[in-house]
A and B are shown apart, each in its own frame.
Chain A
Amino acid sequence: MSARNKELVNLGFAAIVASAAFASVSIVSTGLVTARWLGYIGVIFGLYLVAHVVARFTVPYADPTLLPLVGLLTAIGLTVIYRLGPADARRQAVWVAVGIGVLAGTLIWLRFDYRVLERYKYLFGISAVALLLLPSVPGLGHRVNGVKLWIKIGPMQFQPGELAKIFLIVFLAGYLRDKREALAQGRLKDLGPLLVIWGAAMLVLVQTSDLGSALLNFGIFLAMVYVATGRALYVGIGLALFLAGSAALYNSLGRVQQRVTVWLHPWTDHRVYCSISGKLDYRQNCDSYQLVKSLYSIANGGYGGTGLGKGTFTTVDGTQLIPYLNTDFVYSAIAQELGLIGAAGMLLVVMVIVARGMRIALIAQDGFSKLLAAGLTFGLALQTFIIVGGVLRVVPLTGITLPFVSYGGSSIVANFVMLGLLLLVSNRAAATAVHT
Chain B
Amino acid sequence: MTATATVGQSAEDIIRRIIADITLKPTTSFGLDDDLPRLLSLDSLSLLRIVADIEATFNVRVDDARFHELRTLRAMLGEVNRR
A and B bind: no
The residues of A with any CB-CB pair to B shorter than 8 Å are none
The residues of B with any CB-CB pair to A shorter than 8 Å are none
